[in-house]
Chain A
């Protein structure tokens, strides 16, 4: 079955960087885009960006353009998201999610990682 397994919780100081991993299994890794979204405590969701595991092409939300980098390792079926210059407002659960397109056109997230809590505190 499709599984996305993320790395564990992180505690970082303001100004630091964090790198979260998302290991995929149960499907052909290069066939499906992976998105990253975040959810601040008790809040809704914010879209961070997307990576095409096949060619590595990325598209980031404007709010994160200068601070986020998404990469992938096809040998281990793992995608990574690195966020730099962390602030307290970046405290959130970060999720990776697989984009599945039903009938080739209607796309949604059919599988999610378990989430990684990133806490930014001095």
Chain B
């Protein structure tokens, strides 16, 4: 199975900060990657698909980039509602695998 490694595991940031999260695949997955936001007690919400395409209804401050093995999710200006845990998910091959998550906390 393809392993997905996210870094950092957690970070503290302030409202208005630019934040970059990283996800690395154990082998090349082209651009077959999505990013999700999960808040406590809720199901995840899709933010980005195909590594860089913004899901409908998601604010434009979220952006994704990368291809092959290295991917990033950037939040250009952190808002109060963005404090959550973020996961990457590869859909290149079964079994689909998730990163272990990055928790974004308030500084």
Q: Does A72 count as interface, using CB distance less than 8 angstroms?
A: no
Contacts of A97 in B (CB 8 A): 43
**Taking CB as reference atom, which chain A residue is nearest B56?**
A110
Q: Does A112 count as interface, using CB distance less than 8 angstroms?
A: yes
Q: Give the complex CA separation of A107 and B98 in angstroms.
A: 14
**Interface 1/0s, chain B 71-107, versus A by CB < 8 A?**
0000000000000000101010011111111000000
B54 vs chain A, min Cβ distance (A): 11
**Residues of A within 8 Å of B, CB-based: how many?**
24
The SS class assigned to the A binding surface is: strand
User: Chain B contact residues (Cβ within 8 angstroms of A): what range?
Assistant: 20 to 34
Assess whether A102 is in contact with B94, with CB atoms less than 8 Å apart: no
B93 vs chain A, min Cβ distance (A): 11
Assess whether A108 is in contact with B91, with CB atoms less than 8 Å apart: yes
Query: Which residues of chain A (24-58) have a CB below 8 Å from chain B?
Result: 35, 37, 44-47, 50
